[in-house]
A = this chain, B = another copy of it.
């Protein structure tokens, strides 16, 4: 089946963070593709990826990057699909550089930014977007939230004992 979500990252060193997005999509049984696209080392690949994304059936692109972190913004400049940016924590500026580079986009080209290392939420946001036209997914999503709630309640109950 054709992937609906593209998960891309600037370097495979971002994989430990970004695979959490994949795990969420696995949980919701949403097809995705996952690969490395470097804005700075493979600018042509970035262009190709962004230009063909919609045509090949992608609905949302999740892009993680650290430091100068141009990947999400440049994909959003080329493609009209919703782009979700994941600022990767860096060893020098803790991901503040990644966050500012990704979130401070100029008027006209949005990137939906999540928390530093927030790949899980990037995937959940993609699920929310797909669920707008997929009742099944909307249902699963509600269950996911109920499970989260239940887990907190259980932890609370244990603490209160």
Q: Which residues of A contact B (CB under 8 A)?
A: 10-12, 15, 33-43, 45, 47, 59, 67-70, 73-74, 76-78, 80-82, 84, 89-97, 99-118, 120-122, 124-125, 128-129, 131-133, 138, 141-142, 145, 148-149, 151-153, 155-156, 159-160
Contact = CB atoms under 8 A, between A and B. Distances in A.
10 contacts: A33-B160, A67-B106, A68-B73, A70-B74, A80-B131, A81-B128, A82-B125, A82-B132, A96-B100, A132-B133
Contacts of A111: 114
Contacts of A59: 132
Nearest to A131: B80
Contacts of A36: 152, 155-156, 159
Name A's interface SS. Answer: mixed
Closest A-B pairs by Cβ, 6 of them: A112-B112, A110-B121, A97-B100, A101-B101, A40-B109, A110-B125
